Structure 1
């Protein structure tokens, strides 16, 4: 069995290594024939088990061609980072360890590494050092966790124990968002019983930042959900000003910083997030701009008691105490996600992280200028790594998206921005170079010429 295990892992390594070596040369989105080949997975449940090496072979030969090359260098569809090689290696090691990373009892090493990583994150993001950090699946669960802490604290002040008594008859909580609020925030609100249609929406400016003049009066029953990095435009809400108002009213401010929070680590972009440290909770993703493997979300909360009060449970066999990972997140059975984040931060260091963020923003500027030079319309002020683009009409914009996707050189998808049909480009992966941008620009230009010829 040991020999088989070693042979199997070596087989998996060779296939994985080959995939990563070739991913930049494959179509960014699978071809129709590659998609059709997945029908080979449709087979009756086996009566007898199969050889494990044959299983890996099928995954590689059928599965690998049908993957989206989001870990490659010309994927611009969503805010998806590639995986730094060191984080892939650390992820493999953590998978081999197979730790239940919820406490020092279930995994001393995961507990230690995640605690160290939490301190590093607070330092590099320059957030209040008394804050506590939890590692979850992504921004949806991070937002859910942070807003659960907000709900707990607000209702506790009113004499209501929401964890014990639920929301039936509870004092009302007022939730304020912008009209550009991300769907994950609304999903988190719905899961918390706060309602995604009961929010108060505040208008945004031309670049998608919340209009501070339109924010209603705040009080101690209010949660304000702000955005650090609009998912379309990259814009930042005036979070510092909102926090000043909130502190005066004893309201809670949450920051959806899934990718934009990392701007705090870049000397040339930190100004965008000025005052963000005054908020009460923050979310970020490792699998976006930090370029760690999926999945890896981060929740940060200034008030340890509020997060502990919302997330902790009592059971004789758990012996839970404040400070354990399970005290700050919904999950007990969790993989050691913090190890991926630790590996990325240790590999990059402060200077490397600054360069990673800054260089992606510079490439986005290069991309935007190239698109404008071809006669396309860049609809946003490119302040970060996000670009919103349209052509002359909704019809031509849609045709261009379809043609580029079919070409396979690069990939991006549609969006709607301030009433305009458009497409969005996100420059997130560590692998993207200027050559990748130029190849993508050429593919877009060729598609435009072909569409114009057809007309």
Structure 2
């Protein structure tokens, strides 16, 4: 075998050893960042090393610092595992080493991504002609969509952002919900819109934007270029805005409507849950993320825009040496060069089929409901509400005990879930995002929570 084959064999062994350990290894890393810096640090050696040895040592040394994200009991943040077909496809993407920006040069990867985008729009009830830009994640997708929206609403007002820039441009009104995800504010900042400029609309006790409050916010003052940001899946409660009521309100004021549906938009693929997204297809742009609910490897967000011409107008690249064709990927996102990150999405969709995607979403929801039901049986635990989707919130009697339980769970290693604050209280949040989670994994998690809760708040 040559050096490349030996290196790939070493990578295969390291990967399978890691994946085989997922059911038993601690979910949270056993080594700190400082520990890992000591393991990998030091001066760069003068002499090189055989590729297979490098890969084998990398796998061995990294192991204590790896979090079991692909495993069945990682419930922290909203991060899915990796479906087998998506993982295999991702290995091919690295081996192929294609620059997936050009539809003239890398025809296979661009075709695969374009079909994946068409399948996603069909599954989620979005316009078939929409542009689908594959980006790193939901943060970048929100930026792309808001940048396109800003350009579009300014163009309607007679201002060419590409030619004239933002200095002297008409003010753009960005309307957001009180319980929006922080990536919206960050994306707005990238677009030159500061926090003090945001128009914040009140939300209800589950984090859903209140339609009357939106109507009042838009009715106040003259009509100006406006973008309204709605949400499919509040990151704590999993609640969905009422798109069927909110979007027509925004439309009456000529607003562009963007929907942040990083993980929630996938509810549209489930016949039993698609009512949560009723009316969402009437928006102008949408954010979603395949490494969340669809369970493809990092990184794979999608920026979806109703009219591809709006995407191209904002992001069309330059360079007389480049080849242009129909809807080049580099014309709808900020990246000129990137890997074929949409290929694992095609593989995941092809392996599941329409019914399988719906079943996956239903299973994640069922896991959330099962976890919530069993948490209610643990003395001292209060579940905030019935999960409408895949998020579960709970807390102990006081904030200090809740935070102590969160730290103890991570140290214990049985499962990983993360702390947050909701309506002024410390809470623990479980995100059901992995295809690999079973009833047995939920039982193990509940057992650990019950044991640790008893240690933190012993009975008198």
TM-score (norm 2): 0.96
| 1:402 pairs with one of 402, 407, 428 | 407
CA distance in 2, matches of 1:34, 1:198: 37
Kindly indicate whether the alpha-carbon contact (under 8 Å) linking 1:321 and 1:327 is maintained by their aligned counterparts in 2: no
- More divergent stretch after superposition (242-251 vs 312-321): 312-321
The residue aligned with 1:225 is 229
Q: For structure 1, which runs of at least 5 residues remain unmatched after alignment?
A: none
CA distance in 1, matches of 2:34, 2:433: 26
| 1:289-308 matches, cutoff 5 A | 289-308=293-312
TM-score (norm 1): 0.97
Shift in CA distance, 265/204, structure 1 to aligned 2, threshold 3 Å: same
Kindly indicate whether the alpha-carbon contact (under 8 Å) linking 1:38 and 1:62 is maintained by their aligned counterparts in 2: no
Kindly indicate whether the alpha-carbon contact (under 8 Å) linking 2:124 and 2:269 is maintained by their aligned counterparts in 1: yes
- More divergent stretch after superposition (373-382 vs 386-395): 373-382
| 1:247-286 matches, cutoff 5 A | 247-286=251-290
CA distance in 2, matches of 1:187, 1:311: 19
CA distance in 1, matches of 2:33, 2:251: 55
| 1:422 pairs with one of 403, 419, 427 | 427
Q: For structure 2, which runs of at least 5 residues remain unmatched after alignment?
A: none
Kindly indicate whether the alpha-carbon contact (under 8 Å) linking 1:99 and 1:106 is maintained by their aligned counterparts in 2: no
For the pair 1:450 / 2:455, whether they are aligned, the reply is yes
Q: Secondary structure at the match of 1:231?
A: coil
Kindly indicate whether the alpha-carbon contact (under 8 Å) linking 1:207 and 1:381 is maintained by their aligned counterparts in 2: no
The residue aligned with 1:170 is 169
Kindly indicate whether the alpha-carbon contact (under 8 Å) linking 1:124 and 1:350 is maintained by their aligned counterparts in 2: yes
CA distance in 1, matches of 2:329, 2:106: 11
Could you report, residue by residue, the CA deviation over 1:95-138 in whole angstroms, capped at 9, with x for unpaired residues? 10000001122301011111111111111111111211110000
The residue aligned with 1:317 is 321
The residue aligned with 1:15 is 14
Runs of 4+ that moved beyond 6 A? none
For the pair 1:212 / 2:216, whether they are aligned, the reply is no
For the pair 1:378 / 2:379, whether they are aligned, the reply is no
The residue aligned with 1:438 is 443
The residue aligned with 1:61 is 60
For the pair 1:332 / 2:343, whether they are aligned, the reply is no
Kindly indicate whether the alpha-carbon contact (under 8 Å) linking 1:90 and 1:339 is maintained by their aligned counterparts in 2: yes
The residue aligned with 2:38 is 39
Kindly indicate whether the alpha-carbon contact (under 8 Å) linking 2:171 and 2:224 is maintained by their aligned counterparts in 1: no
User: What is the Cα deviation at residue 248 of structure 1?
Assistant: 2.2
- More divergent stretch after superposition (337-346 vs 239-248): 239-248
Could you report, residue by residue, the CA deviation over 1:341-364 in whole angstroms, capped at 9, with x for unpaired residues? 100000000110011000110110
Kindly indicate whether the alpha-carbon contact (under 8 Å) linking 2:102 and 2:323 is maintained by their aligned counterparts in 1: no
How well do the aligned residues superpose, as a CA RMSD in angstroms?
1.6
Shift in CA distance, 315/55, structure 1 to aligned 2, threshold 3 Å: same
CA distance in 2, matches of 1:33, 1:200: 41
Q: Secondary structure at the match of 1:226?
A: strand
> Aligned pairs, how many?
454
Could you report, residue by residue, the CA deviation over 1:75-110 in whole angstroms, capped at 9, with x for unpaired residues? 111100000011110000011000000112230101
| 1:163-202 matches, cutoff 5 A | 163-202=162-201
User: What is the Cα deviation at residue 289 of structure 1?
Assistant: 0.4
User: What is the Cα deviation at residue 57 of structure 1?
Assistant: 2.1
Q: Secondary structure at the match of 1:255?
A: strand
User: What is the Cα deviation at residue 21 of structure 1?
Assistant: 1.3
Could you report, residue by residue, the CA deviation over 1:319-370 in whole angstroms, capped at 9, with x for unpaired residues? 4355111111110111101101100000000110011000110110010011
Q: Secondary structure at the match of 2:286?
A: strand
User: What is the Cα deviation at residue 392 of structure 1?
Assistant: 0.2
| 1:364 pairs with one of 354, 357, 368 | 368
Kindly indicate whether the alpha-carbon contact (under 8 Å) linking 2:406 and 2:418 is maintained by their aligned counterparts in 1: yes
For the pair 1:243 / 2:247, whether they are aligned, the reply is yes
The residue aligned with 1:135 is 134
Q: Secondary structure at the match of 1:284?
A: strand
The residue aligned with 2:116 is 117
CA distance in 2, matches of 1:321, 1:382: 46
